[in-house]
Amino acid sequence: MATILGLSAYYHDSAACLVRDGELVAAAQEERFTRKKHDSSYPANAVAYCLREAGIGLADVEYVGFYDKPLLKFERLLEQYLGVAPKGLKSFLMAMPVWLKDKLFTRKMLLKELDGFDGDVLFTEHHESHAASAFYPSPFVEAAILTMDGVGEWATSSYGVGRGKDCELLAEIHYPHSLGMLYSAFTYYTGFKVNSGEYKVMGLAPYGQPRFVDRILDNVLELKDDGSFKLDMQYFNYLEGLTMTGPKFDDLFEGPPRKSESTLTQREMDLAASIQVVTEEVVLRMARHVHKETGMENLCLAGGVALNCVGNGRLLREGPFRRIWIQPAAGDAGGAVGVALAIHHKVLGNDRRVYSEGDGMHGSYLGPQDADADIEAFLKSVGAVYERHDGEDALIDAAAHLLADEKVVGWHQGRMEFGPRALGGRSILGDPRSTKMQSIMNLKIKYRESFRPFAPSVLREHLADWFEINVDSPYMLLVAPVRSDKRIAMTAEQEKLFGIEKLNVPRSTLPAVTHVDYSARIQTVHRETNPRYHALISRFHALTGCPVVVNTSFNVRGEPIVCTPKDSWLCFMRTEMDALVVGSFVLRKEQQPALGDDVDWKTQFELD
């Protein structure tokens, strides 16, 4: 059985994964090592980690897979620029040198980086990689597949079928007509960063009214019953310019784009609500068509649009499929997994393992982990004051009591997560019952916009007691309502509030994780995939009667999720976190000596 190294690189979210005998051994994004968010460079550090985790060298790798086909992408770029010429000259002149010098010769570039590798380099198409990443690790024997993103080579959305070792795409929508680009256009227009701020638009949507939906459907988007669509490119600037939208977009939506970091107005909230409704409608229509065409009961999702967990939740509740499974690294990073598994099954013809429980992503805990000896050596080197708990029960008890006392706790345990979500490996945790927790964590820990909601991590066995959902959601990719008996009804005066005024009104007995529309982005925690995190929440449950904790990623705004004990310690020391639990060690902020550096994280990390 082959050892395969999968790579995504050179666009955004570079990553590497290693598959051996059809099993995912390791996977990581390059950003976690370089500390540069969405790092697009060759993933040298991620490759080195994957090889180290597998205990092999490059000479032991038989195949390297790259997640898209650069020559096809170059063909699309040339046609794009020729189609809008003479407009787009500036963009063309910026893009071509990189292509003519490097990207056209991706195979040569890879072989130069892969010193010691003597096998074959293979390429899959971008959406083929997404589809493979969605189906092969899924728990389904057979399933329909739907992929949606900005653009690969030509495809922006595709659907197909997976059966056993076979995974075939049947139809595509082509660039420039792209649901991902449409959502990113509204991300740009509402003042957030494209390829990073789409989560913010989704989080902002419940504060607004979807008053622009008809304007979008009547002018910008021609949507068919089967989910296929066309964009009116007069409103957009991404074909020929350096921004996403143009003057006609401004005229249609009542003014110029919001400037980054400026005050959010009701217009931006209404725009966010409107594009979220439109996106959900497109996805639902696509899913109904795919269900009709394939006859499948199960659906697998990947591509950046599949990270829209609000839409995923609606698809689960209202869509035609009995079950859905979403690749946790649904964006470009997951393409590394897809190409490696495609080589294993489609090229080499190996049978596919179907998991009786769980899936092939192993909880997405595929990154590096740290031995206690290494953690302690680091803590001593920086003069940190810590308690060591060699017994599991003592460590869990100390951490659970901190949470029950409304302390904000950095939690660095086990293997780092692969994908954009922190899932209890590199997380910041809090008490969801606290009315202060959302504001404290947003403004004093994460240093981000106050409107952004936090996610609950809930023991799987107690999920249905607190939320109106009863299916696994281990990757925080489904939004569901809080149970009605846990909600707090709004008063007549509160019902009159608009926009951000709604933020400080507690909506449930879990106010820190309940959004203004009574929804929550849920992570179910399973003893089998993360026993220590499960034990922590179980102990918190025993102390408080609440089987839920607040879980947000361990980083500040603009910073990649932490990777090493040093990353976690620096983030802990530079924020107003109360405690850090790293390996078997507990650090309390009030006991620590001054950090002794004057680094401003706002200059160290580019704001997203």
Q: What is the pLDDT of residue 88?
A: 76
Name the token pair of 477: 């990719």
CB 150 within 8 A of CB 307: no
pLDDT tens for 296-332 read: 999 999 999 999 999 999 999 999 999 999 999 999 9
User: Where does the pLDDT of residue 602 fall: very low under 50, low under 70, confident under 90, or very high at 90 and above?
Assistant: low
Report the alpha-carbon distance of residue 158 to residue 169 in Å, rounded.
7
R_g of the chain, CA atoms, integer Å: 23
User: Where does the pLDDT of residue 601 fall: very low under 50, low under 70, confident under 90, or very high at 90 and above?
Assistant: low
List Cβ<8 Å contacts ≥24 apart for 228-234: 228/173, 228/289, 229/173, 229/177, 229/179, 229/282, 230/177, 231/176, 231/177, 231/178, 231/181, 231/182, 233/176
Please state the three-class secondary structure of 106-133 as a single string. HHHHHHHHCCCCCCEEEECCHHHHHHHH
pLDDT tens for 434-448 read: 988 988 898 888 888
Q: What is the pLDDT of residue 490?
A: 83
Section 67-74 average pLDDT: 93
Report the alpha-carbon distance of residue 576 to residue 424 in Å, rounded.
20
Q: Is the pLDDT of residue 599 over 90?
A: no
- Among residues 179, 276, 174, 273, the alpha carbon closest in space to that of 221 is found at 179
Based on the residue annotation, tell me whether 344 is a catalytic residue of this protein: no
pLDDT tens for 565-587 read: 999 999 999 999 999 999 999 99
CATH 3.90.870.20 intervals, the chain: 372-604
Report the alpha-carbon distance of residue 373 to residue 362 in Å, rounded.
25
Q: What is the pLDDT of residue 85?
A: 80
Q: Which CATH architecture has domain 372-604?
A: Alpha-Beta Complex (3.90)
CATH number of 3-137+332-362: 3.30.420.40
* Strand 298-302 versus strand 142-148 pairing type: parallel
User: Where does the pLDDT of residue 402 fall: very low under 50, low under 70, confident under 90, or very high at 90 and above?
Assistant: very high
596 phi/psi in degrees, rounded to 5: 80, 20
Q: Is the pLDDT of residue 77 over 90?
A: no
Report the alpha-carbon distance of residue 411 to residue 416 in Å, rounded.
11
**Percentage with pLDDT > 90 across the chain:** 84
Report the alpha-carbon distance of residue 366 to residue 376 in Å, rounded.
23
Report the alpha-carbon distance of residue 601 to residue 571 in Å, rounded.
9
pLDDT tens for 224-240 read: 999 999 999 999 999 98
DSSP state of 60: G
Q: What is the pLDDT of residue 92?
A: 78
Stronger pLDDT, 388 or 103, i.e. the higher one? 388
Query: What percent of the residues of the chain are helix, what percent strand, and what percent coil, each to the nearest 5?
Result: 40, 20, 40
Locate tokens 């056209």: which residue? 104
CB 169 within 8 A of CB 159: yes
CATH 3.30.420.40 intervals, the chain: 3-137+332-362, 179-323
- Among residues 279, 281, 318, the alpha carbon closest in space to that of 299 is found at 318
The order of strands in the sheet holding 120-123 is: 23-29, 15-20, 3-8, 63-66, 120-123
155: left (phi over 0), alpha (psi -120 to 50) or beta: beta
Catalytic position from the list 12, 38, 345, 412: 12
pLDDT tens for 243-287 read: 999 999 999 999 999 999 899 999 999 999 999 999 999 999 999
User: Where does the pLDDT of residue 355 fall: very low under 50, low under 70, confident under 90, or very high at 90 and above?
Assistant: confident
Q: What is the pLDDT of residue 98?
A: 80
Q: Is the pLDDT of residue 368 over 90?
A: yes
CATH fold for domain 179-323: Nucleotidyltransferase; domain 5 (3.30.420)
User: Where does the pLDDT of residue 605 fall: very low under 50, low under 70, confident under 90, or very high at 90 and above?
Assistant: confident
